[in-house]
A and B are shown apart, each in its own frame.
Chain A
Amino acid sequence: MKKTSVIILSGVVILFLVSWLVKGASLSGEENPYLQGFLTTFAAFLTLAVFSFLYRDNPFYKFAEHLFVGASAAYWMTLGFWQTLVKKLIPKLSDGLANFFEVPTEEHSYWYFLPVILGLLLLMRLSKKGGWLSRWPLAFIVGYTAGINFVGYLRSDFVKQVSSTFVPLLIDWQGVGHFFSNFSLAIDGQFVMMLANVVIFVGVLCGLVYFFFSKEHTGLFGTASRVGIWILMITFGASFGYTVMGRISLLVGRLTFLFKDWLGLIS
């Protein structure tokens, strides 16, 4: 290990210990103040370790990364075992096992042997001779997914979208003269509402043209396609700004933790 690395590591360890002791002393009125102090300091350390990635990859980031990956992988495996196998599967198959795991018994359903068999087939990957059997549950999952999603997406992304686009382009229409004599830019005015419907209609139609792959995008079709991609890009721009604002609030949350909960600089 380089001398610089040793100095940096020592500095971080000393800062950690100082922070722990100071934080623990400041929480003296609470239960287990030094344990709370340690947890807060450790959370702050991990936050800063992850932030340090903005500078470059470093051992502190690696430590936080590996801790996160290891802990979360173990957590998800445990959750999968207890929530899926123990809580949902076992009570449907065996009262004895349900009692053993201390979960409420349920009416037996032998259909539940089907996922058990598929799960066991998946584990056949570990066998050199029977490895091919693991493709069966995968084929089942992919086939089931395609079938179930076909109807779902056809309804939500096709039929409902089409019917929602049946909007009138002329609203409260009483002639051109009336339209211009009562012209208003009010949000609920005739012009703005008509414009909104025109944007919906043109946007959906041109968007569909853009995603039409069976015809070359030239001529009028090409123009419609370009309008479609412009509308998509404007939508993406608005969505980008909106989402970034949400992400800033996440950053504010972490900074609030550092400056308020850890350092106590914000009351």
Chain B
Amino acid sequence: MQYIRPTDGGRRSRLAFGFLSILIVFAALSAPVVAQDVVADTPADTTAVSHVPAPATSVVVDDYKYDFGDRLNLSWVPSIDDQIGERMVLGYIVYRSINGGEFKPLESLLPGASSFEDKDLHADSSYVYYVAAFSETDTVPSIHTQAHQPEREFIHFDLLWLFVIAALISFSVIYFIWMARAGKDLFVRKIAGLDAVDDAIGRATEMGRPILFIPGIQDMDDVQTIAGLTILGRVAKQIADYDTRIRMPVSRSLVMTAARETIKAAYQIAGRPDAYSDDMVNYVTDEQFGYVAAVDGIMVRERPATIFLLGAFFAESLILAETGNSVGAIQIAGTARPAQLPFFIAACDFTLIGEELFAASAYLSGEPKQLGSLKGQDVGKGIAMAVILIGVISVTLGKAFDIEIFNWIADALSTVFSKAGGS
């Protein structure tokens, strides 16, 4: 590392020395005799007048590990005058020079700071930093760092184990899709709520009332909404077959577009494209409770025979489910949000709990792709159960009885999963 003396440092030192000399002479002439003795006995006290803090030291810049070449880490040892109690340093200012250009202040940090992460950099530029400690009266720069160019890494090797786990599950999914396409019968256990779908649609048909489908209040970037729309495809096909009415108010414009496409495709598959209408799906508002107010109104005015609540729900879950219950509709709900599931369980006839919502579309459709995906996920759950079992037994026996092999297994599993989890 190269030490570069600040350009005005020498002049500042000379000025400070002159200023101190004048102060000492003035104090010696003006102070009483007793005080003169004290000053004479303790010459070191003259430094107490100075407010020039010591600089930060060991300023080092490092590349940020595993990034796109847009970050650098700066670290330093705080000034010796930056200590709790008698803190002279009021903070630090990080200065940066890009490609040998002028140093410009980048960030002001609180006292005690010892690192800084510089973001949004360019991989093809070089950066030099220094850190200036400042007190009430002075600013003292540190040495400059060496010029450093951020490096770009394309593979995050710390996440190797996450990749292995993801690859294992992905290959399981592909394998089971292949099996299903080859005509192998893949078993999926009975899911109670889904067996009621046919009955619920039949009920609406017999009663001559509409079916209300609520896909939650999130957008298409939520997997629960996608799961809800996948089930909608199957439900809409049956509705088309039975010539029942469907009503679908939504709170997101993209969901409206996707839902219209889904229902349209279902009606085409059912051989009734003429019966499809864009009016089946209508946008209400993005506002959570505005949407709830409108849907509640639809429920009490149109009195649907069947209500599907499948998607991501928040505080509106109980309001919707209770209103649906009050109009006597058979309700099939499903969400992966743990906080809302209790309300659906309390107020709906059937509830798809978490993973069941995602399994539902595969169960209902029986399509090879979806069945393969479901079976592949089951492989993941099987791995999780086995690992938990082995991990807990190893930790327990290793810690309680200090058996080396169990300690080793526990450490290995812990390392693999903490690395895969990114911690």
Let me know if A217 is at the binding interface, CB within 8 A.
Answer: yes
Q: Are A165 and B388 in contact (CB under 8 A)?
A: yes
Let me know if B162 is at the binding interface, CB within 8 A.
Answer: yes
Q: Are A208 and B392 in contact (CB under 8 A)?
A: no
Q: Are A57 and B301 in contact (CB under 8 A)?
A: yes
Residues of B within 8 A of A166 (CB): 388, 391-392, 395, 410, 413-414, 417
Instruction: Tell me whether A154 and B222 are in contact in the complex, defined as CB-CB below 8 angstroms, given that A73-B286, A76-B285, A213-B188 are known contacts.
Output: no
CB of A93 to closest CB in B, whole Å: 19
Let me know if A180 is at the binding interface, CB within 8 A.
Answer: no
Instruction: Tell me whether A168 and B395 are in contact in the complex, defined as CB-CB below 8 angstroms, given that A57-B297, A160-B421 are known contacts.
Output: yes
Instruction: Tell me whether A201 and B261 are in contact in the complex, defined as CB-CB below 8 angstroms, given that A57-B301, A76-B287 are known contacts.
Output: no
Most B-side CB within 10 Å, residue of A135, A144, A166, A235: A166
Q: Are B413 and A145 in contact (CB under 8 A)?
A: no
Q: Are B345 and A236 in contact (CB under 8 A)?
A: yes
Let me know if A216 is at the binding interface, CB within 8 A.
Answer: yes
Residues of B within 8 A of A196 (CB): none
CB of B173 to closest CB in A, whole Å: 10
We find that the number of chain A residues with CB closer than 8 angstroms to chain B is 66
Q: How far is the CA of A208 from the CA of B392 in the complex (A)?
A: 15
Let me know if B359 is at the binding interface, CB within 8 A.
Answer: yes
Complex interface bits, A116-158 against B, C-beta within 8 A gives 1, otherwise 0: 0000001001000000001100100110111001110111001
Secondary structure type dominating chain B contacts? helix
Of A57, A76, A155, the residue contacting B286 (CB under 8 A) is A76
Q: Are B220 and A208 in contact (CB under 8 A)?
A: no
Q: Are B166 and A138 in contact (CB under 8 A)?
A: no
Which residues from 366 to 414 on chain B have a C-beta closer than 8 Å to any C-beta of chain A?
A: 374-375, 378, 380-382, 384-385, 387-389, 391-392, 395-396, 399-401, 410, 413-414
Of B385, B387, B401, the residue contacting A209 (CB under 8 A) is B385
Secondary structure type dominating chain A contacts? helix
Q: How far is the CA of A58 from the CA of B181 in the complex (A)?
A: 55
Of B261, B300, B354, the residue contacting A135 (CB under 8 A) is B261
Q: Are B400 and A170 in contact (CB under 8 A)?
A: yes
CB of A180 to closest CB in B, whole Å: 16
Q: How far is the CA of A142 from the CA of B223 in the complex (A)?
A: 8
Q: How far is the CA of A63 from the CA of B345 in the complex (A)?
A: 32
CB of A140 to closest CB in B, whole Å: 10
Residues of A within 8 A of B413 (CB): 163, 166
Complex interface bits, B285-298 against A, C-beta within 8 A gives 1, otherwise 0: 11101110110110
Residues of A within 8 A of B257 (CB): 122, 125, 134, 138
Q: Which of A18-26, A64-72, A81-89 contacts B (4 or more CB under 8 A)?
A: A64-72
Q: Are B285 and A73 in contact (CB under 8 A)?
A: yes
Q: Are A167 and B392 in contact (CB under 8 A)?
A: yes
Let me know if B138 is at the binding interface, CB within 8 A.
Answer: no
Which residues from 165 to 213 on chain A have a C-beta closer than 8 Å to any C-beta of chain B?
A: 165-171, 173, 201, 204-205, 208-209, 211-213
Q: Are A212 and B162 in contact (CB under 8 A)?
A: no
Of A62, A154, A214, the residue contacting B297 (CB under 8 A) is A62
| Complex: chain A residue closest to B252, CB-CB | A76
Q: Which of B54-62, B75-83, B305-313, B334-342 contacts A (4 or more CB under 8 A)?
A: B334-342
Q: Are B189 and A217 in contact (CB under 8 A)?
A: yes
Q: Are B162 and A159 in contact (CB under 8 A)?
A: yes
CB of B268 to closest CB in A, whole Å: 13
Q: Are B296 and A53 in contact (CB under 8 A)?
A: yes
Let me know if B165 is at the binding interface, CB within 8 A.
Answer: yes
Let me know if A98 is at the binding interface, CB within 8 A.
Answer: no
Of B290, B301, B382, B392, the residue contacting A201 (CB under 8 A) is B392
Of A50, A73, A232, the residue contacting B284 (CB under 8 A) is A73
Q: How far is the CA of A230 from the CA of B113 in the complex (A)?
A: 50
Which residues from 276 to 290 on chain B have a C-beta closer than 8 Å to any C-beta of chain A?
A: 283-287, 289-290
Of B261, B346, B382, B401, the residue contacting A240 (CB under 8 A) is B346
CB of B159 to closest CB in A, whole Å: 9
Q: How far is the CA of A165 from the CA of B226 in the complex (A)?
A: 30
Most A-side CB within 10 Å, residue of B221, B353, B396, B414: B396
Residues of B within 8 A of A50 (CB): 293
Complex interface bits, B179-198 against A, C-beta within 8 A gives 1, otherwise 0: 00000001111010000000
Instruction: Tell me whether A138 and B418 are in contact in the complex, defined as CB-CB below 8 angstroms, given that A154-B165, A169-B396, A213-B374 are known contacts.
Output: no
Interface residues of B (CB under 8 A from A): 162, 165-166, 169, 186-189, 191, 220-223, 226, 254, 257-258, 261, 283-287, 289-291, 293-294, 296-297, 300-301, 315, 318, 338-339, 341-343, 345-346, 353-356, 359, 363, 374-375, 378, 380-382, 384-385, 387-389, 391-392, 395-396, 399-401, 410, 413-414, 417-418, 420-423
| Closest 4 pairs between A and B when the two form their complex, measured CB to CB | A72-B287, A163-B417, A240-B342, A173-B400
27 contacts between A and B (CB under 8 A): A64-B293, A65-B293, A68-B287, A69-B285, A69-B293, A72-B285, A73-B287, A122-B257, A145-B221, A145-B223, A151-B162, A154-B169, A155-B162, A159-B417, A165-B391, A166-B391, A167-B392, A168-B400, A169-B392, A170-B400, A173-B401, A201-B388, A205-B388, A213-B359, A232-B353, A236-B342, A237-B342
Q: A57-B301, A163-B414 are in contact. List 18 more A-B contacts (CB 8 A).
A: A65-B297, A68-B289, A135-B261, A146-B226, A154-B162, A155-B420, A166-B413, A169-B392, A173-B400, A201-B392, A204-B388, A211-B355, A212-B381, A214-B188, A214-B189, A215-B189, A236-B345, A243-B342
